[in-house]
Amino acid sequence: MDRVNNDGAYADGDLIVMSVRANKAKGSKSFLDISGLVADGRTLPGLSFQETLRLRCLTEGPCGIDGFGERRNTLWTRICRGSARTNYHSLQHILLMATSVDSSSRNAVFRKLVAPAHTDSHLSSNLLQVAFEKLKACLKTAEYPYDACGDVHFQSLLKRWVETIPRDRKVAFGAQLEALTGARLISSETLRSWSLDSKGRYAD
């Protein structure tokens, strides 16, 4: 476990869990630095392109990105509770987890997502269902579950659904995402207890 922003504190939102190898590859690079490498088709030292994408995903939330619509990037890996993440990452995580539950539980999740997002819940649910079914299909051939989120068609469908959320409903929708993902289950006191004077603590 270590900080994302090396000039920041060991504080709530600036901590992520990653391998020692990934942390060494990251060094002092920020989300924007890693994004620049990815845009040029390059990787971090010792990491594959896919692994670089996963590390970029981990570092995005603590980059000070506010609001739902500013950045909508693929969720390439799991982001642990207590680490900052974007609303779009949370939405993808919820849909991915919904693929492993029964239809009754899944429908309950869909209702909770749709209700604060749109006034036309029937149309909204249909659009989200199409994206979800595409994600399920991609999971059948994905070696790593989160790779399914990288499917271009799925991303196009999901972004289209997100773009239809009215501006005056985005705050309520963000709050619902937090509730569904348990975003506030780890207290600040617990996060502070993970801090060390000079370096992070690695999780096995």
Domain map of the chain by residue range? Answer: 1-69+186-204, 86-182
* Burial label, 187 (beta-carbon count in 10 A; 0-12, 13-18, 19+): exposed
Confidence class for position 195, pLDDT limits 50, 70, 90:
very low
Residue 55: is its pLDDT beyond 80? yes
Residue 64: is its pLDDT beyond 60? no
What's the gap between Cα 106 and its chain centre? 19
Residue 109: is its pLDDT beyond 70? yes
Q: Provide the pLDDT for residue 21.
A: 86
Query: Model pTM?
Result: 0.78
Q: How far apart are CA 5 and CA 14, in angstroms?
A: 7
Angle ∠(128,132,134) on CA atoms, nearest 5: 120
Q: How far apart are CA 71 and CA 159, in angstroms?
A: 10
Residue 10: is its pLDDT beyond 70? no
Q: Which amino acid is at 80?
A: C
Cβ neighbours of 4 (radius 10 Å): 24
Angle ∠(28,155,35) on CA atoms, nearest 5: 15
What's the gap between Cα 131 and its chain centre? 17
Q: Give the mean pLDDT of 93-106.
A: 91
The answer to whether 170 and 67 have CB atoms below 8 angstroms apart is yes
Q: Provide the pLDDT for residue 41.
A: 93
Q: How far apart are CA 126 and CA 114, in angstroms?
A: 10
The answer to whether 74 and 150 have CB atoms below 8 angstroms apart is yes
9-18, 145-154, 177-186: which has the highest mean pLDDT? 145-154
Per the listing, tokens 């199409």 go with 130
